[in-house]
Amino acid sequence: MTGPGLWQLYRGDGVPRAMTMSEAPPWRRFKGTVVRERTIPELEPAAWFQTTPEMVDAVNAALHLRRPLLVTGRPGSGKSTLIESVASELRLGEVLRWHITSSSTLREALYSYDALGRLQEFQVTGSAPDIGSYLRLGPLGTALLPTATPRALLVDEIDKSDVDLPSDLLNVFERGEFQIPELARLGQDSVDIQEDGGDERFPITDGKVTCLQFPFVVLTSNGERDFPPAFLRRCIQFRMPDPDPLLLRRIVVAHLGEGVAEAAEALIEDFSERAGANHAQATDQLLNAIFVVTKTTPVPEERERIVRMLLKELESDLL
């Protein structure tokens, strides 16, 4: 069943709530089996993160359709922070993170295998060591483990990747599964492997990981490159809004309080005008400047100098 009341899985209000999974589209259903459920620690509420209705809609579309969310926008606009708000509110657990560089590979995101370490143990002990002790899931591999509720995965700065990586990722996202050849060759029924960023171990059967619930994936981009149409049409696309005075004031109030926001009205207005004129500045620069000038109360000459230093335009604005 679907309906208006089920649309807002994520509301963006920062109030933690257990997510009620909606029915997946027939083409986005996966057949993983939950053998061992994960432990989901409580996260701090992220009420300081300020959303817009369009942002909330984009997140909910990604959740309902089981599609990655591709988020673009200015540096410092909150692209990588959005997922923290979703994970906190929907109790998805700690965010798994994969920061992309030009040398990043799909294999490192799925799993790693210390073959040399295993060989050295064999040479010392004379017996074949447990291969599971030398395998470790990466952030994407951990996100694809079959669990009752989806994990949250941040793929940060995907535009810095090798040209082939988005297409390689697309294949895994479409299938919702991957194989670990080192395990498949052994023919063992089940091997426990440690997750990324934690101490829990999960059984991998026949060397294959297949998700049950597709993870909530956020890919961030600074707009430094174009992506293949096949990749884009399989993502929900959203551009972080340029900050207007109202949104900036909400952000300042959430972080520093109503009184500080009132005292910094002129600074907020000036920052918004500069952003509207396509100056390359990040919202966290504004927060830094407001914090310093309202908490340390410099004299006017110092204040002007400090604000100018902290709001210095970034070197380039690629958007």
Structural domains in the chain? 4-239 (3.40.50.300), 245-310 (no CATH)
* ∠ Cα 30 182 198 (to 5°): 65
Output the 3-class SS for 81-149. CHHHHHHHHCCCCCCEEEECCCCCCHHHHHEEECHHHHHHHHHHHCCCCCHHHHEEECHHHHHCCCCCC
Q: Quick one: pLDDT at residue 251?
A: 87
Q: Which residues of the chain have pLDDT under 50?
A: 1-4, 315-319
Q: Quick one: pLDDT at residue 204?
A: 93
Q: Quick one: pLDDT at residue 276?
A: 61
Q: Quick one: pLDDT at residue 1?
A: 41
d(CA 160, CA 100): 6
Partner residues linked to 135 by β-bridges = 113
Q: Quick one: pLDDT at residue 56?
A: 96
pTM of the model: 0.85
Going through 167-241 in order, the beta strands assigned E by DSSP cover 177-179, 190-194, 201-205, 208-210, 216-221, 236-239
The pair phi, psi for residue 126, each rounded to 5°, is 80, 5
